[in-house]
Amino acid sequence: MKIGFLYRSFEDVTTIAYILCNSKLTINYADGYFIFENGEDEFVFSKSIEIINNCDYKIQLFTTFNEWKQFKGFDKLIQTQIVENYHINNDDLKEYLDAGNICLSSASISFEHTNFYYDPIFNLIFFYYYYGYNFLNYHNFDKKENLLGVYHKPNNGININKEHRNHLYYQILDILKDDFVSYESKDYNMKALFQPYITFGHWGNTHITSYLDFTTSVCNLVFETLHSNSNEEEPNNRMHGRQYITEKTLKSICFSEENIFFIWYGPTKLFKHLKELGFWFLNSEFFDESKKVQSTNEMPYWSNMEDSVLESTLYLKKLKDKFKDNKLVHKFLMETYGDKLKNNVELFEEILNSYDKAEIVLNLIKNGNGN
């Protein structure tokens, strides 16, 4: 069967192309299409409706959910959600899915549906190619100016939208003092104009160069967008159960190849999922759900996730007190956990080159049988 996918953007097509990545690929640049051959099926991708109309089965690929009702003349619609969380109501999502359409999503939802397929790995694949991590030469650098570095700095005290990471930031700062560094560059007018999301959106250009900062530290702290129990607190809220990872997690995995250690902070469910996949972060050594942790009025959300971050921080301080030198701390960590970083690299390379659940998704696309 010849299955045609009409797409408009890289975001539309990345996930399905990844699922088919082990199939035979033919690219026709002149006529503007490419084909994956999988068994007896041909999967044809094009921006031209004329090419897709010659296929046995026609599918529209898209990302912006609210436009789905405008697509006509297709056998099925496939919406990909691989950058952000869903912000629509569950009833709207169910209406779309009940109509026989499919969602391929790296963001979770609070209910199950046979036409909804979730895998947070899709996000990592998208950002790996979108931000050009495939172009990087992953060189190792010995320069270690800092013990722990982070891309975060509270503005005017506690920012209510980031209070979880701010509380952690201040506790870590209290422990490490000058050994805890927030990466930043000098302020000037053109930077203030061009850098923020709210003006021209050039902030994304920083992602690929962040390793230049990360390499200066023995270890780095990554704050994911969501905190440990985000969207789990209020069952009646439409955002309940909706969690996702971002390019921040990609960095903490990719840069293992440069022998950079990371402490990862984000939703506990996703941390456990990453661990189950086989990925390792320094606070994996200190994450223990059997341990009782004490919350306070100031920090009622405190959990084993936050505790693992602080325990990792105390561990780094202990090493610095012992060795006195950041290079020696890094050397010790490499001798102790270097095999964990190597495993991150090998595991991610394996994931990049093959999707082990491909047949489940292809069956869903062809037959409508979900996982």
Report the SS3 class of residue 183. Answer: coil
Segments making up each domain of the chain, as ranges: 2-118, 134-353
Q: What is the DSSP letter of 246?
A: -
**Which ranges of the chain does DSSP label H, i.e. alpha helix?**
10-19, 49-52, 90-98, 121-130, 163-176, 189-194, 211-214, 247-254, 268-277, 304-323, 326-353, 358-367
Residue (of 35, 14, 12, 41) closest to 124 by Cα position: 14
Confidence of residue 197 (pLDDT cuts 50, 70, 90): low
Q: What is the DSSP letter of 209?
A: G
Virtual CA dihedral for 225, 229, 234, 240, nearest 10 degrees? 60
Tens-place pLDDT, residues 12-71: 999 999 999 999 999 999 999 999 999 999 999 999 999 999 999 999 999 999 999 999
Tens-place pLDDT, residues 262-310: 999 999 999 999 999 999 999 999 999 999 887 766 666 788 999 999 9
Cα separation of 346 and 340, whole Å? Answer: 10
Rounded to two decimals, the pTM is: 0.89
